[in-house]
């Protein structure tokens, strides 16, 4: 693709500089196949990615999820491990005090377990509200990814970053389209309807 893969730090720097050639590959939840399938493929391709994990599940040994030693191995290989809350609730649909705990405790527990900073966050189900976004900022995160479709972000989007969802079976042609201005234009129109009520 002629684009560099980056982690949260690199992507954040690119936003500030107005650079739109970086690709930030992300995986949500922390399922076991992130380690057994995605991780080896990334290493072989000399790419980096970010894994947003549900902290109580990966640190609690839930079946079908990665383990702490796996997270540490990926971190040592240049991947980044970031927060997807403690328990994966719809944050805009629970009391704000509970949402605050999900955001802050997941960050602290993951940092303590990994010995590395956690600077990025992913909204479970893409569910958010202005109050939740404010809490993400207050919790000390620097970036937050959404499920809003798009392939171009600006500095003001850093707590609601758009993403391209890549599902199984997508072709190389589709991936080129997904990184094109046409994809961004089409989804900008759809997003105006889809995200009228973010919660």
Structure tokens that stand for 20 in this block: 């739109």
Structure tokens that stand for 132 in this block: 């939740």
* Count of the separate structural domains present in the chain: 1
In angstroms, rounded to a whole number, what is the distance separating the alpha carbons of residues 66 and 196? Answer: 35
- Residue 152 resides in a domain: yes
Res. 2 pLDDT band, cuts 50 70 90: low
- Residue 124 resides in a domain: yes
Phi, psi of 83 (to 5 degrees): -90, 140
Least Cα distance to 20 among 165, 142, 154 occurs for: 154
- How confident is the model over 107-158, as pLDDT tens digits? 999 999 999 999 999 999 999 999 999 999 999 999 999 999 998 999 999 9
- Residue 102 resides in a domain: yes
In angstroms, rounded to a whole number, what is the distance separating the alpha carbons of residues 110 and 116? Answer: 8
Q: Which domain holds residue 110?
A: 8-194
What pLDDT was estimated at residue 192? 63
Answer yes or no: is pLDDT of 55 > 70: yes
Share of the chain above pLDDT 90, in %: 76
- How confident is the model over 158-197, as pLDDT tens digits? 999 999 988 888 888 888 888 888 888 888 777 666 655 4
Answer yes or no: is pLDDT of 58 > 60: yes
What pLDDT was estimated at residue 113? 98
- Residue 60 resides in a domain: yes
CATH code of the domain covering residue 65: 3.20.20.370
What pLDDT was estimated at residue 45? 94
- Residue 97 resides in a domain: yes
What pLDDT was estimated at residue 66? 98
- Residue 34 resides in a domain: yes
Share of the chain above pLDDT 70, in %: 93
- Residue 199 resides in a domain: no
- Residue 92 resides in a domain: yes
What pLDDT was estimated at residue 198? 47
Mean pLDDT, all residues of the chain: 92
């Amino acid at each position: 693709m002629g684009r560099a893969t980056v982690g949260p730090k690199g992507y954040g720097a690119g936003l500030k500089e107005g650079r739109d050639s970086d690709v930030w590959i992300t995986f949500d939840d922390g399922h076991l196949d992130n380690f057994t399938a995605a991780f080896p493929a990334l290493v072989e391709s000399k790419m980096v990615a970010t894994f947003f994990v549900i902290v109580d599940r990966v640190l609690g040994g839930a079946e079908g999820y990665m383990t702490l030693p796996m997270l540490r191995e990926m971190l040592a290989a240049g991947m980044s491990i970031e927060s997807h809350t403690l328990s994966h609730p719809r944050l805009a649909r629970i009391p704000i005090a509970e949402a605050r705990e999900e955001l802050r405790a997941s960050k602290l527990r993951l940092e303590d377990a990994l010995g590395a900073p956690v600077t990025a966050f992913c909204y479970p189900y893409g569910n958010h509200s202005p109050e939740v976004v404010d809490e993400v900022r207050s919790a000390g995160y620097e970036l937050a990814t959404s499920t809003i479709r798009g392939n171009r972000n600006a500095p003001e989007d850093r707590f609601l970053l758009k993403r391209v969802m890549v599902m199984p079976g997508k072709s190389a042609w589709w991936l080129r389209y997904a990184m094109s201005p046409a994809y961004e234009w089409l989804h900008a129109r759809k997003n105006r309807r889809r995200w009228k009520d973010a919660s």
